[in-house]
Structure 1
Amino acid sequence: MPVTGFLIRHVQWPLMERWKKNRTRQYIRELRQGQSLPTEALQASQREKLRTLLEHAVHNVPAYAPYAQEWQESHDNPEAFLLRLPILSKSRFRQNAEQYIAQNGDRSTFIPNRTGGSTGEPVSFYLERPAVEQYEAARWLGLSWHGIQIGDPCVMIWGSPLELSQHQQKRYRWKERWLKNRLIIPAYDLDERRLDTYLRLIRRFSPVYLYGYTSALYTLASMMLEKGLTLDVPLKAVVSTAESLHEHQRAVIARAFAAPVINEYGARDGGIIAYQCPSGRMHAFSENCYLEVVDPISGIPLRAGETGLLLVTDLHNTVMPRLRYQLGDLIALSAQTCDCGIGYPLIEHIDGREDDMFVSEHGTFVHGHYFNHIIRNMSSFRTFQIVQHERQRVSLKLVKEPKVYLPAEEAQLLEGIRAALGNVDVQVSYVEQIAPSASGKFRYAIREFPLTTDLLRE
């Protein structure tokens, strides 16, 4: 929709800036300037933002008030001071949420938000407009690396705002269509019998790019390849977000849509953290957030290249600061630089969620990717889901490919599971399909009990 995109860029956004004081484009310009800075200058800028946030938190946020005196003695080294603060888990935050609200804030300006709860109990929190606009600025800057600009038409394979009433959902879709130039295809209701309808909708809308959950894009792409169908719309990119993007998924999505696949990394309660550049590396927006990687059990900081739990400190949300917030993901940072010319620091790899990691009967860790690597080379199964309820008890759902199913491959799969986890009880069930969550996300590996030091000492 060229006309709609033009009006969004040249009419709607300037009006928002004048009437609502929206500063997203200003933040985009600032982030673009930041990406050209030398590493030392970027680090200095981030350090000053962290210092400002900590100064605010210890004097205005009850949860951090006990550290005010210590801060006065060490404010010249904000990174070292941050390490003295406890890790903020989601459960701890939920139980004490009011303690993280800044007492000098104007609650009438707070923006309520919450996570979707697809991985457990939802987390409710507050943001402020500048923080939201900083997130949007990071997304648009990342998209601009691939030639995508504000207002370009986009088809989203996305969840539905289930918490809204029917009237509110209609209004939501209207805003998406005419104010954002986006068409939404529900990710939670993909059906191969409606594949022709989906493709007709996308062709008619003629998007510049697709955007959606990794598993939903992969499902749609797999259906297209299986039926020998093509999109026949020149796309600049397919943007994968909200879930881990595996290389076999990337290959299928790229082949089906004849476009490069870009990885966006972020979370509703963490903002837009990183974007993939044209060279294929993930750049973290260090002007917006301070990232740490720690050991999942001890909480000890890890070096670049070592995989651990990600802790995020949002540098712009002053109404409800969450310092060292445990997002729940496993990543490794990188000390390298990228040949693309973008100076933002690199994430070496993103390994998925912390609760994708299983625990063997011997106390060793086994990432959920392990099971995916076994099964994706088998022709007997269309898809699967494995859940570790307790260390010794696992359930496995399998969707068979009836014409090519081989009992020997199932035996091989069970052997692989026990080789990794030990002599565990595996309850196998055969299902016609494995439905995604209400939001449209799909998870194939889930651990239901917490990782604790005491657990590993049993």
Structure 2
Amino acid sequence: MPLTGYLIRHVHWPLMERLKENRTRAYLQELRDSQHMERDALLTSQRRKLGKLLQHAVQNVPAYTEFASDFADSADQPERFLQSLPVLTKGQFRAASQQYLTRGADTSRLISNRTGGSTGEPTHFYLDRPTVERYEAARWLGLSWHGIRIGDSSVMIWGSPIELGQQQANCYRIKERWLKNRLMIPAYNLDERRLEHDLGLIRRFRPAYLYGYASALYTLAEMMRQKGTRLRHRLKAVVSTAESLHDYQREAITDAFQAPVVNEYGARDGGIIAYQCPAGRMHAFSENSYLEVVDPVTGHPLPPGQTGQLLVTDLYNYVMPRLRYQLGDIVAFSPESCSCGIQYPLLAQIDGREDDMFVSTRGNYVHGHYFNHIVRNMEGFRTFQIVQHEPHRLTLKLVKDPNRYSHAEETRLLAGIRSVLGEDVFVSVRYVEEIPPAVSGKARYAIREFPLVLTRSQHGND
């Protein structure tokens, strides 16, 4: 909607900046100015920010104060000092999260957040508003590379706020529609019988771009290709996020929507890390974070071109610094420069999480992220994995928290699973001590063991 976008850019955002001191656009301009700096200048800027963050951490964050004297001896080499610190895993952070909170921080004035547990370790943490605004600035810069502006309309193939009450859900939809110019189609309930309905919503809304989970966008694209239908208006881009984007998915999405597919790489507990440019390369926002790629066994730094564990140090999160934080992804740096002219460093390979689409006994598709939403606010499980062997048969693996587990919570979880996959599905519950990670380093919580595209008879809908 052109008018809505205009009002968001010229009325809503200026009001946010004046009344709430929102600085997203100011941070966006900083990133715009720095993206064409020479590499040496970018490294100098990053080194300065890293040194300032480390100085703060060893003086004010209980988890790091023991390293204060070591930092004093190597303050002029912040990268070398950082590499001398131990890697911080999500499990270690969860076990002592309060030790990473800056002394004197008032949590009532901070933004409480929690990962969904895609790595098998749901993690609770705090951010301040400037840090969140810098994340948003990075996203808008990446989108701007493809001609997308703040306020441009979008349709999200995304997770609905299923834990909200009806009134809260209505407020959420109004905010999304009129303050963000966004329409949402639930990724949890994609169904070929609703395809024309969903496409009708998109056509009437005429978004500038689509945004969603890689597997959900691919599922929608495949349904469109099978039906031989198109959107009938031109998109600036289809933005894939939250999962690994495979070549076959990119090809199908490009063909179905007749638009370029843009990969966004980020994490709830790591911010917007990298974005794909028009030349097809992934640029890491080095002004916002310091990234390391290390050998998963030895922890030693790896040169560009070699894949290893990604460690992230957020350069602006002063309220709860996590130095050398292990996201659980396997990546590689590229030694090359990009033809697009953007000087931010390149990632050559990203092997992030993979969420699977499930098939209900009614024949609709349910994004695996749905189960993550159910479990996210349950305290009785440390992690879980759900495997769909066939539409009527699943295995649910649970790692219980012995101090918080309750049978009532497990019953709620099973009811939530059956509510979307079918009341008659058989769920075999197994209690395990741990769930080993996949090759990518992440423990997949949603796995489907059969082809996604099923006939109606296989669905049980003859």
State the TM-score, normalized to the length of structure 1: 0.78
2:389 corresponds to 1:397: yes
C-alpha displacement at 1:121, in angstroms?
A: 3.5
C-alpha displacement at 1:107, in angstroms?
A: 2.9
Q: State how far apart, in whole Å, the 2-side matches of 1:92 and 1:121 are.
A: 10
Structure 2 letter corresponding to 1:35: Q
Tell me, yes or no, if the aligned pair for 2:283 and 2:346 is still in contact at 8 Å.
yes
Residues 143-179 of structure 1 show CA distances to partners (whole Å, capped at 9, x for unaligned) of 0000000000000000122343332222111111110
Tell me, yes or no, if the aligned pair for 1:297 and 1:451 is still in contact at 8 Å.
no
Q: State how far apart, in whole Å, the 2-side matches of 1:54 and 1:257 are.
A: 46
Structure 2's unaligned 5+ residue stretches are 356-364, 369-386, 392-419, 422-433, 440-462
Tell me, yes or no, if the aligned pair for 2:119 and 2:328 is still in contact at 8 Å.
no
C-alpha displacement at 1:451, in angstroms?
A: 8.9
Q: State how far apart, in whole Å, the 2-side matches of 1:451 and 1:6 are.
A: 45
Tell me, yes or no, if the aligned pair for 2:107 and 2:126 is still in contact at 8 Å.
no
Q: State how far apart, in whole Å, the 2-side matches of 1:214 and 1:284 are.
A: 20
Q: Which residue of structure 1 lines up, in the alignment, with residue 335 of structure 2?
A: 335
Residues 370-410 of structure 1 show CA distances to partners (whole Å, capped at 9, x for unaligned) of xxxxxxxxxxxx99x9xxxxxxxxx88368xxxxxxxxxxx
After the TM superposition, which residues 35-50 of structure 1 pair with which residues of structure 2 at under 5 Å, given as runs? Answer: 35-50=35-50
Q: Secondary structure at the match of 1:62?
A: coil
Residues 178-204 of structure 1 show CA distances to partners (whole Å, capped at 9, x for unaligned) of 100000000111111100110000001
2:291 corresponds to 1:291: yes
Q: State how far apart, in whole Å, the 2-side matches of 1:165 and 1:69 are.
A: 51
Q: Secondary structure at the match of 1:63?
A: coil
State the TM-score, normalized to the length of structure 2: 0.77
In structure 2, the CA distance between the partners of 1:396 and 1:186, relative to structure 1 (3 Å rule), is closer
Q: State how far apart, in whole Å, the 2-side matches of 1:119 and 1:192 are.
A: 30
Q: Secondary structure at the match of 1:162?
A: coil
2:302 corresponds to 1:310: no
Q: State how far apart, in whole Å, the 2-side matches of 1:329 and 1:166 are.
A: 36
Q: Which residue of structure 1 lines up, in the alignment, with residue 435 of structure 2?
A: 448
Q: Secondary structure at the match of 2:339?
A: coil
2:59 corresponds to 1:59: yes
C-alpha displacement at 1:108, in angstroms?
A: 3.3
Judge which range, 119-128 or 333-342, deviates more: 119-128
Structure 2 letter corresponding to 1:449: P
Q: Which residue of structure 1 lines up, in the alignment, with residue 429 of structure 2?
A: none
Count residues in correspondence. 374
Q: State how far apart, in whole Å, the 2-side matches of 1:61 and 1:78 are.
A: 17
Q: Secondary structure at the match of 2:160?
A: coil
Q: Which residue of structure 1 lines up, in the alignment, with residue 145 of structure 2?
A: 145
2:322 corresponds to 1:322: yes
C-alpha displacement at 1:256, in angstroms?
A: 0.3
Q: Which residue of structure 2 lines up, in the alignment, with residue 217 of structure 1?
A: 217
Structure 1 letter corresponding to 2:389: K
Q: Which residue of structure 2 lines up, in the alignment, with residue 249 of structure 1?
A: 249
After the TM superposition, which residues 20-169 of structure 1 pair with which residues of structure 2 at under 5 Å, given as runs? Answer: 20-169=20-169
Q: Secondary structure at the match of 2:99?
A: helix
Q: State how far apart, in whole Å, the 2-side matches of 1:119 and 1:125 are.
A: 15
C-alpha displacement at 1:448, in angstroms?
A: 2.6
Judge which range, 310-319 or 166-175, deviates more: 166-175
Structure 1 letter corresponding to 2:74: S
Consecutive aligned runs of 4 or more in structure 1 exceeding 3 Å deviation: 395-399
| Alignment RMSD | 2.4
Q: State how far apart, in whole Å, the 2-side matches of 1:396 and 1:241 are.
A: 23
C-alpha displacement at 1:289, in angstroms?
A: 0.4
Q: State, as a whole percentage, how many aligned pairs show the same letter.
A: 65
